[in-house]
Amino acid sequence: MDTIASLFSFITWPVSWVIVQFHKVYGAIFGPDTGWAWGLSIVSLVVLIRICLIPLFVKQIKSTRNMQVLQPKMKAIQERYKSDKQRQSEEMMKLYKETGTNPLSSCLPILAQSPFFFALYHVLSAIADGKKIGVINDSLLESARLAHIFGAPLAAKFTDGAAKIESLGASATSVKIVTAVMIVMMSASQFYTQRQLMTKNVDLTVKTPFMQQQKMMMYIFPVMFMVMGINFPVGVLVYWLTTNVWTMGQQMYVINQNPTPGSKAQDSYLQRLLKSTVESGEVKAKRKRNVVKVIVAKGTDRNDVERKFITGLAKAGFVAEADGTVSKSTSALAEAEGGASVARRQQPKRQTKAKRQTAAPQQGTADKATEDSDSKTSLEKKDAPQDARPSAAGKPARSQAKSGQRKGPQRPKHPSKK
């Protein structure tokens, strides 16, 4: 860990400078040698870093939305190459490249704040060893070494020996209890954030590599934090716990205000929007009107949650307009139900090969029976007696000649031949 932290030593000076500036403010309130002054300085460092990372977070949200737009194409690729996983992965990567989408974009905030994390680790490790670093001079170094949070020094670790912890003015038991509680809270907050994303803000109708990646992160990151947390100083645990809580709150805001299409979060959001719209008779906020505008523009391509919202408006006697507003309409319900039935229309189910083979002889038998029936009818018409045919008007019907006789009048036989 010390080797990795040394790679980011170039950023230790600005990190230490920011901490010292916040320490001056909180030291005037709580006292310069208190754990509150140094602990809140670390928390303020986290808040400052996360505010600077908001543009990167917005980029992450946009990339996630692009992934959602590609869901139908991903589903088509899965259906087409469901028996060839390698070809399926190749087509997915090709689709990402064509659309400029990065499935690893959700890791960008973590990667961006990693240098600050390791720089803070380097600063606190130097404080624990009694070494000056950055702008922290001798007086600040001694003040930071004496600072305790719930009885645990900022520079102490779970794995430190009793002698080292006693040199910092604390007991090994209190350090282990405080660090263990903070490690559990840090891992739990990370797990809850990822689980909330997977269960509420993901379209579960389509399984993609992006979903598999999120599922792996949900279990891998908390385990990593628990294993690595025993080697973190208390000050670093404060830093990481604070950033996890910030991420959790930020994720909750996004899920409630900008949910993923087709997710449970979108269903909850649209139900709240439906209730407020029916009660007030209008869509008040501009952002909400933009949501309705997008749903109306989709037409028959709406998902089940969006169709449910449009139908709910129609039952209340409202119709959504193209500009995102709503208006009263008596025919809205019929139109909504008609559009929903068209959207739910499915192609006839394809029969299996065995059923097609069974149906073929039956069809042949039916065709043969029809042919025999037609042939019989034709023969009956052909064998009908000619006497039954109507003769021409005014002309007597000719008698049929016997077999072997010539047609027409016969010559009288000679008397000798009688």
Taking CA 155 as the corner, what is the angle to CA 154 and CA 157, rounded to the nearest 5 degrees?
Answer: 105
Q: Cα 263 vs. chain centroid, distance in angstroms?
A: 7
390 in helix, strand or coil? coil
Q: What is the pLDDT of residue 365?
A: 55
Residue 383 reports pLDDT greater than 70:
no
DSSP 8-state secondary structure symbol assigned to residue 325: -
Query: Which residues fall within 8 angstroms of residue 200, CB to CB, at 6 or more apart?
Result: 255, 259, 263, 264, 265
Mind listing the pLDDT tens digit for each residue in 277-287?
999 888 888 88
Q: What is the pLDDT of residue 213?
A: 66
Rounded CA separation 51/281 (Å): 37
The model's pTM is 0.66
Q: Which of 33, 41, 11, 50 is nearest to 238 (CA)?
A: 41
Environment class of residue 313 by beta-carbon count within 10 Å: exposed (0-12), middle (13-18) or buried (19+)?
buried
Identify whether the C-beta of residue 147 lies closer than 8 Å to the C-beta of residue 39.
yes
Identify whether the C-beta of residue 121 lies closer than 8 Å to the C-beta of residue 1.
yes
**More confident site: 398 or 134:** 134
Rounded CA separation 101/210 (Å): 11
Mind listing the pLDDT tens digit for each residue in 167-226?
888 888 999 999 999 999 988 988 888 888 777 766 655 555 556 666 777 778 788 878
Mind listing the pLDDT tens digit for each residue in 64-74?
667 666 767 77
Task: Please state the rounded mean pLDDT for residues 328-350.
Answer: 55
